[in-house]
Structure 1
Amino acid sequence: MDLFNDIRPYTNEEATDAMLRLVQNKHFLNLLISKKLSINNSPLTYFYYYFSRLFVRYKLTKLLSNIESIEDFQEEISKRLQDTLDKTTDGYEFVGLDNLKANCSYLFLSNHRDIALDPALVNLGMRQAKRATVRIAIGDNLLSRQYAIDLIRINKSFIVKRSFENRRKKLEFLKRLSRYIQQSLTVDKSSVWIAQAEGRAKNGKDLTDTALLKMLSLAKAKGEQFSEFIQKLNVIPVAISYEYDPCIRQKVAEIHAKRIGLNYKKSKFEDLDSIVRGFLDYKGRVKVTFGHKISQNFDSVEDLAIEVDRQIHNNYCLFPSNIIAWALSNPDEQKVIDKLKKLWPRENWNHSEEKFLVHLQDFSDDLREIAVGIYAEPVTSRLMYK
């Protein structure tokens, strides 16, 4: 029996069956048509969806007929992602891929700003470096429908369960998850991507959750030192930087609701909407920086978390939007502001400031303050090391 059968990515054979299910899945086809999962009761809308589904099913069947493996599927995804990035960014780049050794698997511990685009960018970088794509950790809170499960498992993702009956069940699963990640890295020789903390850093603070590091260590052998076990995982911190956040409005709304004491509850399709916005809306410049393998011996999760944070904070690209936001929050720190602006000697700062203010123009004063704080936070984090 496969110990990881319910959480691991699909095999090629399973992926083929899953793609056939996707073609027949009405909810998935509706999603492709309108980015919604349901239709209203209007007869006109009903017929629109009915005939649109026939067309989309035909196009999808034709596309998938040329896909015979997970590798083929990911190649198609990569092409479409590059086309999308060309339209929705002012350029994207990958730095540090030369730090990766050939025929070596890594645990990429990344900051988390976008639900689906973060790991997609890491995979794109790996493909451009002619390396195998990674296995991706995805929370089951995003997998309310079968088509979502099929999509992510075709794309070499494994499932991280979030809800449990009791603490014993949770610990059992976390041990199994830890063993799966260890097996992926040391036996299957497949690199793994996982966010440094559960959920996106909506407030802009990229901080590693020590509970995550404790989970990783649950697979270590009895008597094995924490530092020795971590070395086997080949941990590399990754900093993913977006000049403009397509989901800034949703993040600000959630932070504001919590700040004034409201119980924020996501709308039914909020995560789906965030995924779509992340891919299709404007992002400005984008940079993905792969750090250095953590080679120091850390005896505690706290010390390891500090090193992961140090690399991510120092490798995060401080775009003009971040610098302008920090300047708005710290107008008396002109010397620091001038020094930060030297990071972009060719930047037209008047134009960039105007662009940033336009980006925030629809916010009320209290919401604008939150948005500015989110963009300023990476600068604050960087300055901690100076």
Structure 2
Amino acid sequence: MIELEDKYADIRPYNDDEVATSLKRLIDDNAFIDVIAKYNLPRILSAIPFVARPLIRQQLRKKWGQINSVEDVQNEVAKYLNKLVKRTTSEVTFSGLDKLDPNQAYLFISNHRDIVLDPALVNWGLFQHKMKTVRIAIGDNLLQRPYITELMRLNKSFIVKRSAKAPKEMLKALTQLSSYIYDSLTAGNSIWIAQKEGRAKDGVDQTDPALLKMLQLNGRKQKKEFGDYIKELKIVPVSISYQYEPCAIAKAKELYHKQHHGQYVKSVGEDIASIVEGFSSSKGHIHLAFGQPIESHCDSADELAKTIDKQIIDSFYLHPGNFIAGGCTEAVINKADAAKFAKRMDKVPEELKPLVLAMYAKPYHRKAEVNIKSCEH
């Protein structure tokens, strides 16, 4: 096991024996302490570092003094998530988990609407059902500060090297990633990865075949056919549906900017702001639908992508906003829900409203398209 872990030392999550040292680094990091102070202390205190920092450090040493393992960290995260769910959602529901084997490691591939909440809620569902939490794929573009790297690797995240640009460097990074995912699954550790790079800002949940080709790199090394190797990975599609789209206005601004200026360059710290907004904003009802492990024979990445997409679209839970934005007149929409959605849309700048409405409408229309195609066959 030591040899296996060392092989992935630069990308893997922390082991039990690294937890205490990582927590010490976090407590010693002024940037991290200042962020904690900003969100937990009165403004007048958080603005005075020589007062705020010792207070926060004292609290953290007391709180984290008994944390010495990855499981301890997961239990702390579960407590935080429990508070977050109570504070920012009306309810979080799950389907399909009862049909999964708690002793089996799965590769969960989900749609992606929120940077950190998506995998956190997958873990929340597994934790509630007494199943092992997942190892989480996270892009190195998010690791802009040392304390973020510490927090992510403490919380069972492994690093996807998106910053690799040269072809040889990219291939090396992707091959290592492919191998790490396979070895994790073989060792009994489930994995979460988004169906494509970046969040679905336009409401289109679509699997990128390039992701699936990356998974096969290790299979190719083992001289296994695509379909045979993919079956070994026990892929389970997951469909995450938020009543109120996290960071909807920020996503729409990015799309609007791309439409009118050709490209959008994120400012420093923008992703961190999105993470904070995702955690703190009201999200209404959230549903996570866990699909069936893919056992049908898929001979290509494109075929597998379509199979994953069908499960994600089919099981996507439509909220009142999806029906309203989709122009559905048949669904019985509760007046109170319709009023809440209208009130939410009132806060959206006029020029962004079509883009935000499209985010909500797209799942409704795609589900209808999938059902029509299924009828034709």
Letter of the 1:53 counterpart: R
**Aligned CA distance change for structure 1 residues 223 and 80 (closer, same or farther; 3 Å):** closer
Which residue does 2:348 correspond to in 1? 363
Please say if residues 175 and 218 of structure 2, whose CA atoms lie closer than 8 Å, have aligned partners that are also in contact: yes
Cα distance, 1:196 vs. partner?
0.3
Shift of residue 138, structure 1, vs aligned partner: 0.4
Deviations 1:15-71 (A, max 9, x none): 2110011111100011112259xx9xxxx8886222111111111111101212110
In structure 2, the residue matched to 1:21 is 25
After superposing on structure 2, the runs of 4+ consecutive aligned residues of structure 1 that deviate more than 4 Å are 44-47
1:196 aligns with 2:195: yes
Label 1:161 to 1:354 Cα distance change in 2 as closer, same or farther (>3 A): same
What residue is the counterpart of 1:153 in the other structure? 153
The separation in 1 between residues aligned to 2:46 and 2:353, in whole angstroms, is: 40
The residue aligned with 2:329 is 337
CA RMSD of aligned residues (A): 1.7
Residue 165 of structure 1 and its aligned partner are, at CA, apart by 4.5
Matches for 1:85-96 after TM superposition, within 5 Å: 85-96=85-96
Q: TM-score if structure 1 supplies the norm length?
A: 0.91
Q: 2:360 aligns with which of 351, 366, 375?
A: 375
Q: CA deviation at 1:119?
A: 0.4
Paired residues, what number?
Answer: 364
Residues 165/263 of structure 1: CA separation in 2 closer, same or farther (3 Å cut): closer
- Aligned counterparts of 2:179 and 2:82: Cα–Cα separation in 1: 34
Q: What is the 5 A alignment of 1:9-48?
A: 9-34=13-38, 48=48
SS in 1 for 2:122: helix
2: distance between equivalents of 1:172 and 1:302?
A: 23
Amino acid at match of 2:216: S
Q: Which runs of 5 or more structure 2 residues have no equivalent in the other structure?
A: 372-377
Return closer, same or farther for 1:46/1:204 CA change in 2, 3 Å cut-off.
closer
SS in 2 for 1:260: helix
Q: Under a length normalisation based on structure 2, what TM-score does the superposition of the two structures give?
A: 0.93
For residues 33 and 83 of structure 1, the distance between their equivalents in structure 2, rounded to whole angstroms, comes to 19
Alpha-carbon offset, residue 144 of structure 1? 1.3
Deviation at 1:94, TM superposition (A): 1.3
Q: State how far apart, in whole Å, the 2-side matches of 1:130 and 1:257 are.
A: 44
SS of the residue aligned with 1:385? helix
Give me the whole-angstrom Cα distance separating, in 2, the residues matched to 1:49 and 1:378. Answer: 46
Q: Give me the identity figure in percent.
A: 41
Q: Which residue of the partner structure matches residue 312 of structure 1?
A: 312
Q: Is 2:338 the counterpart of 1:353?
A: yes
